[in-house]
Structure 1
Amino acid sequence: MTWGLIDVENFYCSAERVFDPALRKRPLIVLSNGDGCAIARSAEAKALHIKMGAPMFQIRDTVQRHGIEC
């Protein structure tokens, strides 16, 4: 039996960028389905101090000011 372990940083952001290359090099966050919290953040979004689990209503101004894709 062969085992493999893959550690993918920002998986959901990376997956979105595979299907939409226009998102590359842009700040990107993926929001949760029910409560709109940031569940994945690109390196660019992390640099803008978007915290993991931050609800959209708290980061809305930052998202709009910096053009962060959601």
Structure 2
Amino acid sequence: MSEVTPELRAQIGETLDTIKSQAEKREGSRFKVVQTGLLEQATALHAVLPVMLDETSLVNRMGQKREVADRTAS
């Protein structure tokens, strides 16, 4: 897995904003139940995604350091 870049974070945020916006536009329609679920999911992703991306980035960096250490040890 590659490093999480600021550009990737921005792109993911924009995608989630679009989902949220589309869900809000459908308010009052026959898709309200689906819309509510999408809105809740988008809101939850907004809350946890930065933490998940930071953890993924940290794990990737730790893995890279371990690979370098393994190569230098052999």
Q: TM-score normalised to the size of structure 2?
A: 0.29
Instruction: Look at both structures and tell me which one has the larger radius of gyration over its CA atoms.
Output: 2
Higher RCO (CA 8 Å, separation ≥ 6 residues):
2
Between Structure 1 and Structure 2, the one with more helix by share is 2
TM-score, normalised relative to structure 1: 0.30
Select the structure that is richer in strand.
Answer: 1
